[in-house]
Amino acid sequence: MRYRFKLFILVALLAMAQSDLAGAQEGTAERGRAFFQRQCGVCHQVAQPRIGLGPTLQGVIGRTAGSVEGFNYSPALKRSGITWAPEILDRFLADLAALVPDTRMAQRVPDEQKRRDIIQFLATP
């Protein structure tokens, strides 16, 4: 009886840990919003009109890089031909210059989980 109870507790704990880990790996919009406001919000916003140093990121998923009207993008980003998809945003945030040499954006996000969270936030309508 005692063995079964311990086994039940162990299985329950493992199931809860698995659930938490899956949520962490996928990214959450709530964590992404908080990180975005602290780090990215200095230059970017997700609302119109644009009031920061960088372009608005509202509707960035599916948008062509360098296409926000009225923003002075680097020639490199304009010529990149990139359409922002989650996997492209992940690569860009991880190492900006590797994807777009001579980009004007300076802030990288080296932490993979934070990138997932930011991208999940940006993908939320």
Q: Which CATH number fits domain 28-123: 2.60.40.10, 1.10.760.10, 3.40.718.10, 3.40.50.170?
A: 1.10.760.10
pLDDT, residue 120, reads 97
Does residue 18 register a pLDDT over 70? Answer: no
Question: How many other C-beta atoms can be found within 10 angstroms of the C-beta atom of residue 60?
Answer: 19
What's the pTM value of the predicted model, to 2 decimals?
0.76
Q: How confident is the model over 31-46, as pLDDT tens digits?
A: 999 999 999 999 999 9
End-to-end, the C-alpha distance of the chain in Å comes to 51
Instruction: Give me the helices (H) in 27-111, please.
Output: 29-35, 75-79, 86-94, 96-99
Are 76 and 100 in contact by the 8 Å Cβ rule? The answer is yes
Res 22: pLDDT: 45
Instruction: Decide if pLDDT at 16 tops 90.
Output: no
Q: How far is CA 45 from CA 18, 33, 54, 78, in A?
A: 34, 11, 8, 20
